[in-house]
Chains A and B, each alone.
Chain A
Amino acid sequence: KAGVTQTPRYLIKTRGQQVTLSCSPISGHRSVSWYQQTPGQGLQFLFEYFSETQRNKGNFPGRFSGRQFSNSRSEMNVSTLELGDSALYLCASGGTVETQYFGPGTRLLVL
């Protein structure tokens, strides 16, 4: 079974731009969660989707949004990028409510 895939793996943007990251979960998984990891804040929960519905949301500004498609693939979007948005963005898919399988991440650098 293929694992969780994330694209792109690396991305460089400038302040004010917007970015869209993609996550394809393990086949059959219906839950996708997104996380941000920075050296200063560590891992932080962004949001969780299940069957195209946002089930939970972390404490991030409205510039961070996401969606899930009918094939369970998910995208997250960050608008009006700030320097502090530079981070590793991780996606995880769940076979059950609590089991999490992580993707390799997208490393975003905002200049």
Chain B
Amino acid sequence: KNEVEQSPQNLTAQEGEFITINCSYSVGISALHWLQQHPGGGIVSLFMLSSGKKKHGRLIATINIQEKHSSLHITASHPRDSAVYICAVRSNTGNQFYFGTGTSLTVIP
């Protein structure tokens, strides 16, 4: 069983749509990260969360520690948002990083 589960695995949206990507985890965590990976491999860290909600431009990330669940929302999606979004958690025992398998997002103009 994976420590981090993401859904959906693949997502296609029309430009302008509101997008939600979900992440559930099974371990106790000290922090959760949302990462963005574009074709070619480069990874950008979007958010680091330990509680509540963070917003950066059109991106919003929320976390519910009790439910062990996080969501990444993209408002007014744009083709340049097309990428793989990866949820990662740092466990609070052993300090390990665990990764979801990623959500591949394609935004069509």
List residues of A whose CB falls within 8 A of some B CB: 33, 35, 37, 42-45, 48, 55-56, 58, 88, 90, 92, 98-102, 104-105, 107
> What is the chain B residue whose CB lies nearest that of A106?
B41
* A54, chain B: closest CB distance, angstroms: 11
**Range, interface on chain B:** 20 to 34
Instruction: Tell me the dominant secondary structure on chain A's binding face.
Output: strand
Bound complex: CA A100 to CA B46 (Å): 10
> What is the chain A residue whose CB lies nearest that of B43?
A102
Given contacts A98-B31, A98-B90, list 12 more A-B pairs with CB under 8 A. Answer: A42-B101, A43-B86, A43-B99, A45-B97, A45-B99, A56-B96, A90-B41, A92-B45, A98-B33, A98-B48, A98-B50, A100-B33
Q: What are the residues of chain B within 8 A of A100 when measuring CB–CB?
A: 33, 45, 48
Contact, CB under 8 Å: A90 / B43: yes
Bound complex: CA A58 to CA B90 (Å): 12
Q: What are the residues of chain B within 8 A of A98 when measuring CB–CB?
A: 30-31, 33, 48, 50, 90
Instruction: List CB contacts (< 8 Å) of B25-81 with chain A.
Output: 30-31, 33, 35, 41-45, 48, 50
